[in-house]
Amino acid sequence: MDYSKEELDKLRKLSYELKIDVIKMLDKADSGHIGGAFSIADIVTCLYFKVANLDPTNPDWDERDYILLSNGHVCPILYAALARKGFFPKEELNNLRKIDSLLQGHPKLGIPGVENTSGLLGQGLSQGVGMALGLTMDSKPNKVYVITSDGEHQEGQTWEAIMSANKWSLNNLVVIVDRNHVQIDGNTEDIMPLGNLKEKYESFGWIALDINGHDYNEILQIFDFVKNIDQPVAIIAHTIAGEDISFMERLYKYHDWKDDPVEVEKALKELQAELDKFN
Amino acid sequence: MEYLLENYKNESELEKMATREAFGVAIVSVANENDDVVVLNADLPGSLKLNDFMEVFPERYLQIGVAEQNMASIAIGLSHYGKIPFITSFAAFSPGLNIAQIRIGSIKNQNFKVVSSHYGFHVGPDGASAQMESDIAMMKAIPNMVIVNPADYNQTKTMTHLISRAKGPIYMKLTREKFPVFLKEDAHTEIGKVQKLLSGDKLTVIATGSMVYETLQAVLEVDKDGGNVELLNLHTIKPLDKEGILESVRKTGKLLIVEEHNIWGGAGESISRIVAENHPVFTKIVGIDDTFGESGSHRKLWEKYKIDRVAIASQIREII
């Protein structure tokens, strides 16, 4: 089904608010990863505010869906979403990456709403397979969504996990690949070519789908589709690193960001202008 | 004799069993007690003696294939969901190949168990690559990790139950080779506490895992009438039983540690630190002296690399 403009706009507006939170967080933290945080922002918004079954007042709720962030370095967008969802007070965002604070530079179990400790790429999908297996053993209906980067598909373990999800036909497991084509030191196809990820997943027995990772209607429809399938599903989300910030888009040098007051101001201005369009 | 079987001295009378066989038996009864226990294996179920488990609990046995990293991370996911996963392989492969995944699961003290067989020279003829002289070094440096190294078949059965009930990441080491069953089946075993097998007042000898019975024979050879050598069974390498160790060295004033592991990074170094910090005494470590193994039977390798009862006895003689 098509979603109403009103519903889609509500989510779009929210994503700009989350992105503004991220810029402010990184400004206070003096550093952090921004390119991937912005390329996955629309999908994170859809997952946390529309798709997944979550209860922020009870993060360990048995009936919840599990959302794992395998490429943990893009956590500013995760933290912004969790705070706005109500998993912890929004003030915590001011202390990202600081000593004695809740929000670690990479996600860690114990932060309300965080489902996996990450920071070493390539492990999240295996952990998701474990959770999906546990749920399957107990005949539970919960879904497991694993967000991954395209770059971490250079880790061999990712392919071990892909192989194993197919072995057990895990129909409760969905992987989202943030196909933004950049990694720390350059473009993925220059660093170590990943090629056609859809075909690769398919050859491992998965259902794989290419989508525009910034098209809300498409994102929501895909998540509806994956609710009733009998195989693991890979959503290859074609995205733009640093999306919505004119001077950052598609540039690998904004994979991580040493904040600069001029850039902060410019970025906030651009995001505010987008947000104002909804008023 | 609190811990030792009556006929412990008569090696030929004692039953010979590998500790991996005890694990194979005990894991079935552990799984009977607790529905959350699941076992993961990386294409070596026969080597871990999992045949009974596979038959009794096929739905709780996960064959991961030759993918130890995936195995460890899947276990961490299962643990987050609420299962109690045991990951099983050779020590050379797990933790040898998946230390980074195990480390991630240990950061928040997740409840998973790493059970590994064929440590030290126990995969003898296969040669250096499949043997494992470095696993304690890898694992003991991970915060929150508990390491147990049971001394015989009976103790391994008890230990399998204990680690299934204890929360958090735990590494248990198993032997491939059969050796004497010399501890009582109902002996009291507590994670983190040494067991005093023999009392003495001139030298404390601490041995762990496969080396405990070998050391016991060496002590019997040298200290024929008894009373000179105190022998402690170090079935828990981390955390170390600081009080139990210090109590003994305060009495004897001398210490020998015996382990089937590289002396760089093994249990001996950690024990030496506790002794040096609290009650310095003369200390010597018998272990693999910073070398890889080679093909050969484990007994021949023990002999060649000087960790057999002859080498241990000669060290004891020298110190006393």
Q: What is the CATH number of the domain that holds B301?
A: 3.40.50.920
Look at residue A33 and tell me if it is in a domain.
yes
pLDDT, tens digit (0-9, with 9 covering 90-100), for B128-159 = 999 999 999 999 999 999 999 999 999 999 99
Look at residue B189 and tell me if it is in a domain.
no
User: How many Å apart are CA B258 and CA B269, to the nearest integer?
Assistant: 11
User: How many Å apart are CA A17 and CA B151, to the nearest integer?
Assistant: 60
Look at residue B187 and tell me if it is in a domain.
no
**Least confidently predicted of A27-36, A266-275, B297-306:** A27-36
Which domain covers residue A183, as residue numbers?
5-194+204-276
pLDDT, tens digit (0-9, with 9 covering 90-100), for B243-262 = 999 999 999 999 999 999 99
Q: Please enumerate residues of B whose Cβ is less than 8 A from a Cβ of A.
A: 38, 59-60, 62, 64-65, 67, 69-70, 72-83, 85, 100-101, 104-105, 107-108, 110
Clarify whether residues B24 and B88 are in a common domain.
yes
Look at residue A172 and tell me if it is in a domain.
yes
- Residue A2: per-residue pLDDT: 85
Closest CA to B90 of B28, B173, B148: B173
User: How many Å apart are CA A115 and CA A64, to the nearest integer?
Assistant: 11
User: How many Å apart are CA B177 and CA B284, to the nearest integer?
Assistant: 26
Active site residue B185: no
- What's the total number of domains in chain A? 1
B296 has pLDDT over 70: yes
Clarify whether residues B21 and B91 are in a common domain.
yes
User: How many Å apart are CA B98 and CA B85, to the nearest integer?
Assistant: 15
Which domain covers residue B119, as residue numbers?
15-180
pLDDT confidence bin for B124, thresholds 50/70/90:
confident
A31 has pLDDT over 90: no
The single residue of B68, B133, B177, B230 carrying the catalytic annotation is B68
Beta-carbon-side half-sphere exposure of residue A9 (alpha carbons within 13 Å): 9
| A141, A53 contact by CB (below 8 A) | no
What residues in B contact A164, CB-CB < 8 Å? 64-65, 67, 70, 74
Distance (Å) from the C-alpha of residue B73 to the closest C-alpha of chain A? 5
pLDDT, tens digit (0-9, with 9 covering 90-100), for A92-125 = 999 999 999 999 999 999 999 999 999 999 999 9
What residues in B contact A134, CB-CB < 8 Å? 77-78, 81-83
Look at residue B296 and tell me if it is in a domain.
yes
Clarify whether residues B162 and B19 are in a common domain.
yes
Residues in CB range of B81: below 8 A, 6 or more apart = A66, A130, A131, A134, A135
Clarify whether residues B170 and B215 are in a common domain.
no
Clarify whether residues B140 and B28 are in a common domain.
yes
Clarify whether residues B75 and B170 are in a common domain.
yes
User: How many Å apart are CA B254 and CA A59, to the nearest integer?
Assistant: 54
**Which of A65, A111, A137 should we substitute to test contact with B (largest number of B Cβ atoms within 10 Å)?**
A137
Say yes or no for a CB contact (<8 Å) between B80 and A127.
Answer: yes
- Residue A224: per-residue pLDDT: 96
Distance (Å) from the C-alpha of residue B143 to the closest C-alpha of chain A? 15
Look at residue A199 and tell me if it is in a domain.
no
- Contact of A120 with chain B, judged by CB distance below 8 Å, is answered with yes
- Contact of A119 with chain B, judged by CB distance below 8 Å, is answered with yes
This model of the complex carries an ipTM of 0.97
Distance (Å) from the C-alpha of residue A119 to the closest C-alpha of chain B? 9
Clarify whether residues B302 and B232 are in a common domain.
yes
Look at residue B283 and tell me if it is in a domain.
yes
Domain of A102, CATH number, reads: 3.40.50.970
What residues in B contact A143, CB-CB < 8 Å? none
What is the chain A residue with the closest CA to B78? A130
Say yes or no for a CB contact (<8 Å) between B73 and A110.
Answer: no
Separation of first and last alpha carbons in chain B: 24
Clarify whether residues B42 and B138 are in a common domain.
yes
User: How many Å apart are CA B104 and CA B215, to the nearest integer?
Assistant: 36
Decide which of B152, B180, B208 is a domain's last residue.
B180
B93 has pLDDT over 90: yes
Say yes or no for a CB contact (<8 Å) between B59 and A137.
Answer: yes
The mean per-residue pLDDT over the stretch B3-21 comes to 97
The mean per-residue pLDDT over the stretch A35-59 comes to 98
The mean per-residue pLDDT over the stretch A152-167 comes to 98
Residue A192 token pair: 């170590």
**Which of B35, B73, B93 should we substitute to test contact with A (largest number of A Cβ atoms within 10 Å)?**
B73
The whole-chain average pLDDT of chain A stands at 96
Say yes or no for a CB contact (<8 Å) between A134 and B77.
Answer: yes
Clarify whether residues B216 and B265 are in a common domain.
yes
The whole-chain average pLDDT of chain B stands at 97
What residues in A contact B85, CB-CB < 8 Å? 130
Look at residue B9 and tell me if it is in a domain.
no
Say yes or no for a CB contact (<8 Å) between A126 and B60.
Answer: no
Clarify whether residues B271 and B220 are in a common domain.
yes
A1 has pLDDT over 90: no
Look at residue A104 and tell me if it is in a domain.
yes
- Residue B87: C-alpha distances to residues B45, B94, B147 (Å): 11, 8, 14
pLDDT confidence bin for A256, thresholds 50/70/90:
confident
- Residue B140: per-residue pLDDT: 98
pLDDT confidence bin for B55, thresholds 50/70/90:
very high
Look at residue B186 and tell me if it is in a domain.
no
Cross-sheet strand order for the sheet of A173-179? A66-69, A144-149, A173-179, A233-238, A207-212
Clarify whether residues B176 and B108 are in a common domain.
yes
- What's the total number of domains in chain B? 2
B1 has pLDDT over 70: no
Distance (Å) from the C-alpha of residue A127 to the closest C-alpha of chain B? 4
- Residue B1: C-alpha distances to residues A31, A134, B212, B230 (Å): 63, 45, 16, 13
User: How many Å apart are CA A240 and CA A39, to the nearest integer?
Assistant: 5
Clarify whether residues B203 and B315 are in a common domain.
yes
Q: Which residue has the tokens 């904040």?
A: A259
What is the chain B residue with the closest CA to A118? B104
Domain of B37, CATH number, reads: 3.40.50.970
The mean per-residue pLDDT over the stretch A124-131 comes to 98
Backbone angles phi, psi at B95, to 5 degrees: -90, 0
User: How many Å apart are CA B30 and CA B27, to the nearest integer?
Assistant: 5
pTM: 0.97
- Residue A73: per-residue pLDDT: 96
Say yes or no for a CB contact (<8 Å) between A161 and B104.
Answer: no
B75 has pLDDT over 70: yes
User: Which of B69, B100, B108 lies at the smallest CB-CB distance from A108?
Assistant: B108
Give me the residues of A, 195-234, that contact B with CB < 8 A: none
The mean per-residue pLDDT over the stretch A55-69 comes to 98
Say yes or no for a CB contact (<8 Å) between A130 and B38.
Answer: no
Look at residue A135 and tell me if it is in a domain.
yes
